Structure 1
Amino acid sequence: MLNHAIVSVALALATLPFAVQGAQLAARAQDPICEWIERAISSASNVYYPGDALYNKGVAHWATTADQVSKCVVEPGTAADVGMVLRIIGGTRTPFAVKGAGHSPNPKFASTTGVHISMYRFNNVTYDADAQTADIGTGLIWDNVYDALAPHGVNIVGGRVPGVGVAGFTLGGGYSWKTNQFGLTVDTLVAFELVRPDGKVVKVTHESDPQLFMGLKGGFNNFGIVTKFTLKTHPQPEVWGGPIQVAADQIDEVTDATVEWDATATDPKAQVMTTYTYAQGELHMTAFLFYDGPTQPAGMFDRFLAIPNHGSNVNTRPFADLVQSTPTGASYGFRGIFNAFSVLDTTRSLVDVVINETQYWGQQLSAKTGIITTYAVEPFLRSIYSHNTQQTAFPPTRSIPFLPFNIYYAWLNSTYDEEFYNAARVSTKVIVDAAVAEGQRGAADAPLYPNNAIFDTPINKVYGANIPTMRAVKRRVDPANVMGLAGGWKV
């Protein structure tokens, strides 16, 4: 997809700020708050300072737009130590960040110039066969989880592409290859291990605290730091699927097949995602096919499989291998931004607007070190919000059968950050306006998926009518607004 020269340049640019700034900061006295934390935590945890390789690992993100130079990195190894850190931070009103895997490109969401908390050591996966649940640490990526659960023949509702963190994905809702069958990841949550802002470690369930449980299911870090999720599991056979990469001359065939799929699909084990990408001066399409079983029902994906392609990786495989087969566009170390919009139907006229936006912004932004613009069309079944009768922070409504769409831009030079951010805002508005104009009036009010929404999205577009309840819970569990010292979606 992208040549090695571009990747090498991007990685050099990505690591340069930390190499230079880290060397400068290492010569300074260590921050007194960091030293206080270092003295207070147990031997299960560590503090790292600029100039240390583990500091660099701690503050690094998938997209360099999310990077900042912190005073130190705290890598706690126990929930009790997380509580100690929160008490010190809250008492001194020190800005901080909490990073799971660091996949969000949003600036300042999981980074800080203050104390950076890396959840890396919360990396256990424990399967309970009797309860049919798994305890999952918040420092993991989904790839780790799938590998750990595979020997037990089970799986959970998790991420679709390599490298996505468990923490942010789950706390933001979580659309999965398994969502047509089981709902979002938040719909499969049984319990949280939560370190409250006062430092107390608690287990939160629907029975123990229904409002806090609701707020955590999509509410990110408003109520404390989650160290462990307990999630429902289900049997996992081998699956059938993978990506098919198609050239621009087959754009009509791919688009028509996707639109037809959205209108006719009924099998909850099946799913399709189509991406339109402008890179290296050309438009490319990728159709991702998925069936939750070793063979697809006869004829189900025939229209996609009949399209001439220049690369197909569709076969029967373990679930983890399917996820690894998913090309993710740009590599680790580029600048980047997502933006989210929601529609009610995947019509041909609307997808034509998406295609036009992909080409237009790809051409406009390529001159500003833009290397990729990608628009993802995700035709889930409209029944996905019916899998849960309990209230969740996201989605705030289950009566609107909306479909989440996603924009992703990647580029090299920070000089152009605002131009890329603004392009993502303008482009989403063009597409939503087109949906409304063709009769999808509910698209204007449909919730926006917080894991993909750009950083300045109005909070009411994410949580809607849930905001008063979430604020009441926030006042109860965090009256001093300790979590307001960290970035992210704040109620």
Structure 2
Amino acid sequence: MMVAFADLSFSFLFGLSGLTLVVASSGFFDAGNVLRSTVCEQIATAVSSSSVVYYTGSNQYTKGNYHWSASSTQTSECSFEPATAEDVGIALRILGQTQTPFGIKSGGHAANAGFSSTSGVQIAMYSFSDVVYDSDAQTATIGTGLLWDDVYLALEQYSVTVVGAKVTGIGVGGIALGGGYSYLTNQYGLAFDNVVAFELVLPNGTVTDITISTNSDLFFALRGGFNNFGIVTRVTVKTYPQSQVWGGRVSYSLDQWEAAGLAIANFGANVSDPKASIYNTYNYISGAAEMLSILFYDAPTCPEGMFDEFLSAPHIEEDISTRSYISLIQSLPLNATSGLRSVFHWAAMEEITMPVLDMVVNETLFWGAELTNSSLRIVSYDVDIYLSTLYDHVDSPTAYPPSRSRGYSFIQVYYGWADSRYDDTIFDAVDASVQHMNQALTDLGQDVANVAVYPNNAPPDMALENMYGDNLPRLRAIKKAVDPDNVMELAGGWKF
């Protein structure tokens, strides 16, 4: 049986009203010599009536250009909201022929400048908001204009879920094409490990379905290759039975961090149950230090004693209960950091020990204080613990990671600041911090110096070789074959 949900709302964003101006235009233009609005008008004239081009002054234009991070926001010439894959293809052909820059926005959570935004034509995928559940195939087909919150909520009534983002407010597109570490990853792998089909609009405008049997090269490349090969409008993913879960948030003040750290280290050393997961974030926010642990067990109750240390350690607040999966996902609000300039970075770990956690504490406090006069608002060092078997849930290779011989836990680093004058200062600081942590981990005997960096957490200066390793030549060959005219080079992001 299939059940469809269409046009799910995005209540936390902007309103849905907006005026559309469509002006007929003839001919293409030489890029740089004619206003890009000419291309906006060509797209508006060429596509079906269900797809709309919005201009400055409308709410939908504002919504289309909105990004969670100020550093990735740009002012586009227009915002195009396609409603069909065929209209995406028409737009791609026009953009390629006119060599017009464009951006592709799913949830708008990319922090790196220009990765999903543009000064040209912003393609906002909001109209691809369907969730179609197939109980016979145990799959769900979901539009890339959705947030994972919407997907979890739509599937909840069927007592199933999918592997997606682990915090609220994240779009389907960046996770389905970039990785997706989840509370369910120890059981089922990364989010894109669970994709069985992509609806892909190729750079020449052709709409096609990509599976491992129809095109094994593109199926490999899309799982980690982002927007290099066209625009993905929908993904079909495996679903899994989902009951209520146990867990939530526990908060610790700075003087309570040592006891909380012992709980984290003991969990990492002793818990191998794939249904269990923890996500720990060390934060320095406007001069105040606080640490959160998100505890998770994939059942209404957790095994006796598994999380006792976290709850018996002194803490300032807790929100732990048996609850729905979506409730747990939303227990760590994301929008508190929206509107800042942002950069992410990443460091892999083989083991989580007290010396490692002491290092994380030192980095959090040092850089939080060091950068106070650089308009810094928050530094966050997030300790994500996974089993070494997390990559064992897929039989075919993926663009990322280049090696699946073992999985790693990792430290996700996030800095948020207000003033663009300090961009270089912040970028240098986050690079220095991760280099220091990698050296410290190596000195502690952990073989992590050459582990591939997770692309969704990589800063803008990251070399492709450091993310894709030996897969890079194959990815470049696939890119050349599918996009010989380099249409997708007109969009931002990691480029092969």
User: TM exceeds 0.5?
Assistant: yes
Q: Distance in 2 between matches of 1:29 and 1:393?
A: 37
Residue in structure 2 matched with residue 478 of structure 1 by the alignment: 483
- The CA deviation at 1:66 is 0.3
- The CA deviation at 1:29 is 7.4
Residue in structure 2 matched with residue 95 of structure 1 by the alignment: 101
Corresponding residue SS for 1:444: coil
Matched, 1:177 2:183: yes
CA contact (8 A) 1:30 1:49 kept: no
Q: Distance in 2 between matches of 1:90 and 1:338?
A: 31
1:344 maps to which of 321, 341, 350: 350
CA contact (8 A) 2:252 2:292 kept: yes
- Alignment deviations for residues 294-314 of structure 1 (CA, whole Å, 9 cap, x no partner): 001111111111111111011
Residue in structure 2 matched with residue 305 of structure 1 by the alignment: 311
Matched, 1:36 2:36: no
- Alignment deviations for residues 172-207 of structure 1 (CA, whole Å, 9 cap, x no partner): 111001001001011111000000000000000000
Unaligned runs of 5+ in 2: 1-13, 15-33
Corresponding residue SS for 1:313: strand
CA contact (8 A) 2:389 2:406 kept: no
Matched, 1:133 2:133: no
Q: Distance in 2 between matches of 1:401 and 1:78?
A: 38
Amino acid at match of 1:467: L
- The CA deviation at 1:404 is 2.8
- Alignment deviations for residues 5-60 of structure 1 (CA, whole Å, 9 cap, x no partner): xxxxxxxxxx9xxxxxxxxxxxx977111111110011111111122221111011
Corresponding residue SS for 1:384: coil
Matches within 5 A, 1:388-467: 388-441=394-447, 443-467=448-472
Identity, in percent, stands at 46
Residue in structure 2 matched with residue 18 of structure 1 by the alignment: none
Corresponding residue SS for 1:407: strand
CA contact (8 A) 2:337 2:416 kept: no
Q: Distance in 2 between matches of 1:329 and 1:448?
A: 25
Q: Distance in 2 between matches of 1:459 and 1:271?
A: 30
CA contact (8 A) 2:189 2:391 kept: yes
Q: Distance in 2 between matches of 1:410 and 1:478?
A: 36
Corresponding residue SS for 1:462: helix
Corresponding residue SS for 1:469: helix
Matches within 5 A, 1:295-334: 295-328=301-334, 330-334=336-340
Say if 1:115 and 1:329 are closer, same or farther in 2 by CA, change over 3 A.
Answer: closer
Corresponding residue SS for 1:44: coil
Corresponding residue SS for 1:203: strand
Q: RMSD of the alignment, in Å? A: 1.4
- Alignment deviations for residues 72-93 of structure 1 (CA, whole Å, 9 cap, x no partner): 1111110000000000011111
Q: Distance in 2 between matches of 1:341 and 1:297?
A: 30
2:370 maps to which of 364, 367, 372: 364
Q: Distance in 2 between matches of 1:96 and 1:117?
A: 7
Residue in structure 1 matched with residue 20 of structure 2 by the alignment: none
Corresponding residue SS for 1:408: strand
CA contact (8 A) 2:139 2:236 kept: yes
Matched, 1:257 2:260: no
The structure richer in helix per residue is 1
1:120 maps to which of 122, 126, 132: 126
CA contact (8 A) 1:400 1:446 kept: no
- The CA deviation at 1:481 is 1.0
- The CA deviation at 1:369 is 1.9
Corresponding residue SS for 2:64: helix
- The CA deviation at 1:343 is 2.2
Residue in structure 2 matched with residue 85 of structure 1 by the alignment: 91
Q: Distance in 1 between matches of 2:279 and 2:150?
A: 23
Stretch of structure 1 that moved more, 231-240 or 454-463: 454-463
Q: Distance in 2 between matches of 1:30 and 1:421?
A: 32
- The CA deviation at 1:329 is 7.4
Q: Distance in 2 between matches of 1:252 and 1:348?
A: 9
Q: Distance in 2 between matches of 1:426 and 1:306?
A: 36
- The CA deviation at 1:423 is 1.3
Say if 1:361 and 1:274 are closer, same or farther in 2 by CA, change over 3 A.
Answer: same
Matches within 5 A, 1:9-24: none
Q: Distance in 2 between matches of 1:456 and 1:29?
A: 31
Q: Distance in 2 between matches of 1:343 and 1:320?
A: 28
CA contact (8 A) 1:330 1:372 kept: no
CA contact (8 A) 1:404 1:448 kept: no
Residue in structure 1 matched with residue 30 of structure 2 by the alignment: none
Paired residues, what number? 464
User: Structure 1-normalised TM-score?
Assistant: 0.92
1:236 maps to which of 234, 242, 248: 242
Amino acid at match of 1:482: V
